[in-house]
Structure 1
């Protein structure tokens, strides 16, 4: 059995509620008709419907106008609250003030995007939105989309393809690759690092699933070459640490290499094989597209990515 009286609720539409509030305020049907742009007969019909639904006269005719009954006066603040809440639903979102905003935004990304963007985002938040907090979780594509679907995360960063219509993506940039190794590695010279030398040395790869093969191997196959993969690591920063302390080399996304090569004392250069770039996007669920806090963080991430692009061009 339904907890609602569906018949009464269907008859109690918004226009009737607006008439009720205006009658309590003006106490004259003609003034209400003028305010709401309705005819006097429409006001009369609305009054009759209200009396039938609520089981009370609501307004008593007096020489000076319409006097609300005690029940009508009791109802007025409750109906006003209902109308106010409905107004909030149909109104545009309130302007977001990052300086005074509080709350937490949850972001999903692999450690490459985390390391490349979250420190810059936090620096911007410290100046512009000091009370906002971040939770960052290391989700790949499948888990990130599931988390967005179930309200377990708010934004996702990474390489996403063939997104269902319930997700919206904002392209941040096209990501390429760099080969990285310790600075005194025998191959730390772009003229020396040809395809054969590249394939014959030991490689570290990043694969959360533990795969020992990747996009580099597809390109080498076309050249009749095969590389020697010595270790598969789950994250990019451990890969940088690994090659800094060994003779292994790694082929990693450009941004994390360029941001952290100096930190780890590494040399990097262009790959000696052709590798396709891939888009990095910011993804949200369409149900949250009007969330002002999420939109502010999303705009900040887009701004960071575009500033990096301008810096790279210059």
Structure 2
């Protein structure tokens, strides 16, 4: 590079995102720019570095060897610049225009994000919230690449090297529709096993869950007759039929159409957490977002 002093820092930010996304359209969306603008900036970067940097490939753009050399040093340099610039900068939610990107399964959406959304809209009306698919296998890499700000997941599934904060402990309750003829009182274990159950199978099609593991250890089994991939569907099934289900208690706390009773079997619950990357830990806006979530649904100290 022969013209370093004339290089716009914004071009380096664009290059960092392009190397992460390897797609001009997705990079433009993350940068809140138009696709033609990002294409123009990529042309300037190619000229500045005297290298194509990114070439068309069968599954998006492929970085050149020079681009691969730049990737990690560039990210580290931009993070250092950001820390210096924002060291004493306070976050003003009233004027903020951040787009928060949170990865969550439907439980996290229902139990954490929806309760938090009202506060976000009231305090930071210029911001946006994008809920992304929660793929635990790729969470760490997507956070490292800046694609995701936070992930909502169980504490026991937090990938090594990421920061986490406990939000709350969750437990299961037996749920059926109001007026269900077999839920006037807590059922016996025999009655529980004879009822027709619905189950949530996130991967689809499963008829075994943590409840069945507990029953199996007791030499028992229940009648699971319906398997659905999402909690909202399970709730609708229970409201409209005589099926019952073991559901997390927070999901049905304000559902007047549902009746909850304690199950005659102890099913282990889980701990919900929010997870983030070290690169975002000291960012004032990111810290503010974490505090809003913890303030709405509860939260212990950061780990």
**TM-score of the aligned structures, taking structure 1 as reference length:** 0.65
Offset, 1:234: 0.8
The alignment status of 1:280 with 2:275, answered yes or no, reads no
Alignment of 1:150-189 (within 5 A): 150-161=145-156, 163-189=158-184
Question: Match for residue 55 of structure 1?
Answer: none
The alignment status of 1:199 with 2:210, answered yes or no, reads no
The alignment status of 1:120 with 2:115, answered yes or no, reads yes
In 2: Cα distance, 1:98 partner to 1:149 partner: 24
Mean Cα deviation higher: 148-157 or 90-99 = 90-99
In 2: Cα distance, 1:131 partner to 1:164 partner: 32
Alignment length (residue pairs): 223
Can you give the 5+ residue segments of structure 1 that lack an aligned partner in the other structure?
6-84, 310-314
**TM-score of the aligned structures, taking structure 2 as reference length:** 0.68
Can you give the 5+ residue segments of structure 2 that lack an aligned partner in the other structure?
4-79
Larger Rg: 1
Question: Match for residue 14 of structure 1?
Answer: none
Alignment of 1:1-314 (within 5 A): 3=1, 89=84, 92-161=87-156, 163-191=158-186, 193-210=187-204, 211-259=206-254, 261-262=255-256, 265-306=257-298
Q: Per the alignment, do residues 93 and 277 of structure 1 end up closer, same or farther by CA in structure 2, a change over 3 Å counting?
A: farther
Question: Match for residue 57 of structure 2?
Answer: none
Q: Per the alignment, do residues 140 and 270 of structure 1 end up closer, same or farther by CA in structure 2, a change over 3 Å counting?
A: farther
2:241 aligned counterpart, secondary structure: coil
Question: Match for residue 38 of structure 2?
Answer: none
Question: Match for residue 53 of structure 1?
Answer: none
Contact 2:140 2:159 in 1 (8 A): no
CA RMSD of aligned residues (A): 2.4
Q: Per the alignment, do residues 142 and 123 of structure 1 end up closer, same or farther by CA in structure 2, a change over 3 Å counting?
A: same
Task: Report Cα offsets for 1:14-67 as digits up to 9, x if no partner.
Answer: xxxxxxxxxxxxxxxxxxxxxxxxxxxxxxxxxxxxxxxxxxxxxxxxxxxxxx
